[in-house]
A and B are shown apart, each in its own frame.
Chain A
Amino acid sequence: MKYVRQFLIILFISLMGEILKYFLPLPIPASIYGMVLMFAALKSGIIKLASVKETAHFLIDIMPIMFIPAGVGLMDSVGTLKSILIPVFVITVVTNITVMGVTGRVAQAMRKGADAHE
């Protein structure tokens, strides 16, 4: 029963996310609204951590396999990408490196700065 109840709570919050998406005209997906709602519910004590924990960790644990179908979908998009394949590839690789480098270095530098002040 524990897992049924936990799964129900998670699905209910996902549904609330869908409802918000339906009424708000922003390009923000139901999952992000749901994430915010779940966080707010935990923080305010409406939902106890113990009443979602195990199922949540299970879902997060198996998250990588949820991306396999989308990745396999690349076999169909190679055709449409053909004309700009090389620029797209270069942009994807370069942006990955610059974004990771900048985000990580800025965060790390600010963390070190904060520690130095303490």
Chain B
Amino acid sequence: MNDFFQNSLFAGVTLSLLSYILGMMLKKRFKIALFNPLLISIAVTIAVLLVAKVDYSAYNAGAKNLSWFMTPATVCLAIPLYEQWELLKKNYKAVLLSLLAGTLTSVFTILLLSMLFKLNHTEFVTLLPKSITTAIGMGVSEELGGYVTITVAVIVMTGILGNVFGELICRLFRITDPIAKGLSLGASAHAIGTAKAMEIGEVEGAMSGLAIAVSGVLTVIVAPFVAKLL
């Protein structure tokens, strides 16, 4: 089975899509945040791989073709942004200030909790870029001397959590404004949160896509200074 996956172009992708459809069916039937198609598809795929004794690298030999689309898709986030340009221009102050506040909240929450858990410097800087998009986060982690593979894992975990519980957290804080919703999803859960924002609405999606870029760049600027604090 492992060999088959290793050499198959379609096994990994088909398994991933099949489990995603299963997740969509469950979501339609049960309407609970935990029945999130992305979360279900990841869980089901892992379960199938474990039962069939297939390594991740064998699965990913085919499934990585899905990841290939990530750069062109991110480039396309410029389109909803362009379509919502007037709205963005009118609210640029709220956008910039809230994203700056979100970035600072992210790094200082991580600093405070890292101190509380007595993490060492390397562990701290590994977690520091966890709220931003993988490609930028990897660069920041590497620059600061973190464990890049763990950074990637934590970024993905953050995104999935944001995707699953984002709407619930918005409700908790009574965030109802579409612009505010989109910004908070993008600032905390980057592209995976943006996928959720796109499902909620066009304005939410556009703002979330913008938040990925702005929060990412802000973190690049802020992180080196905060890294010196622990």
Contact = CB atoms under 8 A, between A and B. Distances in A.
State which size class the interface on A falls in: 35 or more
B20 A34 contact: no
Given A68-B38, A68-B45, A100 B156 contact: no
Interface string B20-64: 100000000000000001100110011001100000100110011
B63 to A, nearest CB: 4
Contacts of B177: 104, 107-108, 111
A87 B118 CA distance: 9
Nearest to A52: B79
Interface of A is mostly: helix
Contact of A99 (B95, B109, B191): B109
B25 to A, nearest CB: 15
5 smallest beta-carbon distances between A and B, as pairs: A27-B139, A29-B135, A103-B102, A104-B184, A104-B175
Interface of B: 12, 16-17, 19-20, 37-38, 41-42, 45-46, 49-50, 56, 59-60, 63-64, 66-67, 69-83, 85, 91, 93-95, 97-99, 101-102, 105-106, 109-110, 113-114, 117, 119, 123, 127, 130-131, 133-136, 138-140, 142-143, 147, 149-150, 152-154, 156-163, 165-166, 169-170, 172-173, 175-177, 179-181, 183-185, 187-189, 191-192, 194-196, 198, 205, 209, 211-213, 216-217, 220
